[in-house]
Amino acid sequence: MLYSVKRLAGFTLIELMIAVAVVGILAAIVYPSYTAQVAMNTRSEGQRELIRLSQLMEQYFLDHRSYTEDMTDLGMSVDPFETENGHYKIDAVPVSSIATDFRLVATAQGAQAARDSGCTTLTLDYLGSKGPVDCW
């Protein structure tokens, strides 16, 4: 009597190890790009608020003939102002004389500060100068 040997369907250990290695290599390549993109997208929250607060500062200047250091004068609830998702705190700092110029500074908070270590501080002044340049 001849018995036929039936091959069982499935994956060998080598095939599984190769698949795991490929997934690991792809994850090692993709994850840093993903975290950089998340940091850049979150940075846009700080940039957007800096631009919005700059417009409010200009309106305040038109109404009062001077700029202010106090975010509550611009209608914000607290000074320094915290962005909607809490990733940045924004405050006005004097450059030379707060009455004639201003600089808004957004400082990254929490996870954003760790994720985006090269751009933890964003600035925008009364001339529209943005800093650091690589972060805009």
Report whether 38 contacts 61 (CB < 8 A): no
136 three-state secondary structure: coil
One CATH from 3.40.50, 1.10.760, 2.40.160, 3.30.700 for 13-135: 3.30.700
Q: Tell me the average pLDDT across 74-96.
A: 90
Instruction: Parse the chain into domains and list their residue ranges.
Output: 13-135
pLDDT band of residue 117 (cuts 50, 70, 90) is confident
Q: Is the dihedral of CA 30, 32, 35, 37 positive or negative?
A: negative
Of 54, 42, 39, give the one whose Cα is nearest residue 91.
54
Give the pLDDT confidence score for residue 47 in this predicted structure: 97
Q: Rounding to the nearest 10 degrees, give the CA dihedral for residues 97, 49, 78, 87.
A: -120
Give the pLDDT confidence score for residue 99 in this predicted structure: 75
Give the pLDDT confidence score for residue 94 in this predicted structure: 81
